[in-house]
Amino acid sequence: MAADTLTLRVVTPENTVLDGVTVGAMVVPMSEGYLGILPNHAPMVASLRIGVLKFKAGDTYRAMAVGGGFMEVADNQATVLVDTAEVGDSIDVLRAKAALERAQRRLAERQGNLDYARAEAALQRARARLRAAEEARGSSGPGITPRDLD
Amino acid sequence: MAGKRDIVRRIRAVRSIQQMTKAMKMIAAASLRRSQAKVIAARPYARSLQDMLLRLVGTDANLKHPLAELRPVKRTAYVVITGDRGMAGSYNVNVIRLASAALRQSENDTVLIPVGRKGRDFFRRRGYAFAHEIVGLGEEPGFGQAKQLAQTLMTMFLNQEVDEVRLIYTEFISALQQRPADVQLLPITPVRGKDDLRGAGAPPQEAEGGGQPTAPVEYIYEPSAEAVLSSLLPKFVEVQVYRTILEAKASEHGARMTAMGSATDNAADMIARLTLAYNQARQAGITREISEIVGGAEALGG
């Protein structure tokens, strides 16, 4: 059954962020690099890392900061299970910047009892949110840049 | 005559208590509604995760993973989830009673991890030491908090500090009915996990509508099936802890609503009784006055 769109659902433990959004293409942050997903993709389960997920709804790409999890694609239905998900234009940039600085400071100080993994994750989350917010502001601009596909 | 004034004072006191219990009841009812909405909102994630897990391990009962490792149980960790506040009827007492019984009957070493101020204070007064404690989860605990707790528990399990982790919390059956429960969190047992996430949660119409027919499809696993599985299982534990905390919260609000509802009713009864007593006292006073007047008049006339 060839189709030219797939349906995207983004779910976090706390709520369903997107449900039944028709997308023409999407780019997901997999644990080993970004991957583009087009309609009629073979069934796949992948683990995702903290990063920016993009999906093409209509003619524009929209960006979303996601916080690590999984994705399942089958029958043109993509289900993304992540700890957190925020659509780019709803991100509070000031807060994200503050979080970024806080995480950087904590990593720089390196106190003895520092939970390194947690601080690192916080840093990545803050970066992802800022990038998603950036993408959202220039949403008419380039969809996927080569940088995202490396 | 002094009796009359005392009764008036008591009526006033009971009435102001009633106002408070009534307000608390209404707040609890509103919180309960929010909690239930959160429990429902948490279901799609849990169900999808469950589907992925089942697809990955199939019906294979002997799951090979450090989090599913069965060891001879030398030490058990009990996570006891109570509320931070009282005024919820027997809510906290029931959980504490179940936990105390479990600790007493346990044949191996035990470690206690209280979640919630009431349980912590109770066990601290009795001289228990805690491996970890959490208080002040707030009225609406988030996934982040549950995740942290889950990670602490998994670390303890993986470092072999404990060989079993159990959760003692209050199962939410309905707004009027809650039941203390004791479930095993670690090691993960896939069969029971299925009952837990599916059986308890799924409303019947979604159970058939939501899931695609599970034809045996070959999936690509990125980066590999093992890697996906080893990140799925911790997530599964996190979700279970989150769900447990949400359920305990919903139960707490339900218990508080019921308790405050009956407190309000009792206050109404008491006001009715006191009003009756007041009227009797008033009537008795009037009767006495009349008889005094009559007696006086007779004495004068005679």
Three-state secondary structure readout of A32-61: CEEEEECCCCCCEEEEEEEEEEEEEECCEE
Domain CATH code at residue A15: 2.60.15.10
A15 shares its domain with A25: yes
Domain CATH code at residue B32: 3.40.1380.10
Contact check, Cβ <8 Å, A47/B46: no
| DSSP secondary structure letters along A57-95 | ETTEEEEEEEEEEEEEEETTEEEEEES-EEEGGG--HHH
A66 shares its domain with A114: no
Contact check, Cβ <8 Å, B231/A47: yes
**What is the enclosing helix (H) or strand (E) of A21?**
strand A16-23
Q: Does residue B156 belong to any structural domain of this protein?
A: yes
pLDDT of residue B207: 38
Contact check, Cβ <8 Å, B38/A14: yes
pLDDT of residue B217: 66
Q: Does residue B19 belong to any structural domain of this protein?
A: no
Measured between beta carbons, which residues in chain B are less than 8 angstroms from residue A13?
Answer: 42, 45-46, 143, 146, 238-239, 242
A102 shares its domain with A52: no
Give whole-number Cα distances, A74 to A41, A64, A71, B41, B220, in Å: 7, 21, 10, 23, 10
The C-alpha of B280 sits at a distance from chain A's nearest C-alpha, in angstroms, of 58
A26 shares its domain with A71: yes
A29 shares its domain with A96: no
**Cα B218 from Cα A104, distance rounded (Å):** 43
First-residue to last-residue Cα distance in chain B: 30
State the residue range of the domain holding A71.
Answer: 6-89
CB B233 within 8 A of CB B65: yes
A99 shares its domain with A73: no
pLDDT of residue B216: 59
Tokens, residue A30: 């997999």
| Strongest mean pLDDT among A20-34, A104-118, B215-229 | A20-34
Residues 20-59 of A with CB under 8 A from B: 30-32, 35, 42-47
pLDDT tens-digit readout, A75-84: 899 999 999 8
Residues 90-149 of A with CB under 8 A from B: none
CB B79 within 8 A of CB B146: no
Tens-digit pLDDT string for chain B (302 aa) = 457 889 999 999 999 999 999 999 999 999 999 999 999 899 899 888 888 888 877 655 556 788 888 889 999 999 999 999 888 889 999 999 999 999 999 888 999 999 999 999 999 999 888 988 888 888 788 888 999 999 999 999 999 999 999 999 999 988 888 999 999 998 887 654 444 443 333 333 333 334 444 555 678 888 888 888 888 889 999 999 999 999 999 999 999 999 999 999 999 999 999 999 999 999 999 999 999 999 999 888 76
B9 shares its domain with B108: no
Computed over every residue of chain A, the mean pLDDT equals: 82
Q: Does residue A35 belong to any structural domain of this protein?
A: yes
Q: Does residue B199 belong to any structural domain of this protein?
A: no
Contacts of B278 (CB under 8 A, 6+ apart): B4, B7, B8, B11
Domain CATH code at residue A96: 1.20.5
Predicted complex: ipTM over 0.85: no
pLDDT of residue B302: 60
pLDDT of residue A7: 93
Identity (one letter) of the amino acid at B275?
A: T
The C-alpha of B8 sits at a distance from chain A's nearest C-alpha, in angstroms, of 51
Q: How many domains does chain B have?
A: 2
pLDDT of residue A149: 45
State the residue range of the domain holding B95.
Answer: 26-189+217-257
B130 shares its domain with B251: yes
Q: Does residue B202 belong to any structural domain of this protein?
A: no
Residue B47 touches partner A, C-beta closer than 8 Å: no
Q: How many domains does chain A have?
A: 2
B43 shares its domain with B176: yes
Closest B-chain CA to A41: B220
Residue B176 touches partner A, C-beta closer than 8 Å: no
B178 shares its domain with B248: yes
pLDDT of residue B58: 66
**Cα B243 from Cα B46, distance rounded (Å):** 9
What average pLDDT does range A100-125 have in this prediction? 78
A54 shares its domain with A17: yes
A28 shares its domain with A79: yes
Residue, of A130 and B184, whose pLDDT is higher: B184
Measured between beta carbons, which residues in chain A are less than 8 angstroms from residue B241?
Answer: none
pLDDT of residue B156: 93
Residue B246 touches partner A, C-beta closer than 8 Å: no
| DSSP secondary structure letters along chain B | -HHHHHHHHHHHHHHHHHHHHHHHHHHHHHHHHHHHHHHHHTHHHHHHHHHHHHHHHTT-SS--SGGG-----SEEEEEEE--SS--STTHHHHHHHHHHHHHHH-SSEEEEEEESHHHHHHHHHTT--BS--B----SS--HHHHHHHHHHHHHHHHTTS-SEEEEEEEEEEETTEEEEEEEEEES--HHHHHIIIIIHH--HHHHHHTSPP----PPEEES-HHHHHHHHHHHHHHHHHHHHHHHHHHHHHHHHHHHHHHHHHHHHHHHHHHHHHHHHHHHHHHHHHHHHHHHHHHHHH-
Q: Does residue A100 belong to any structural domain of this protein?
A: yes
Closest B-chain CA to A10: B45
B120 shares its domain with B227: yes
B146 shares its domain with B121: yes
Of A13, A31, A69, the CB nearest to B42: A13
Closest B-chain CA to A44: B220
B158 shares its domain with B285: no
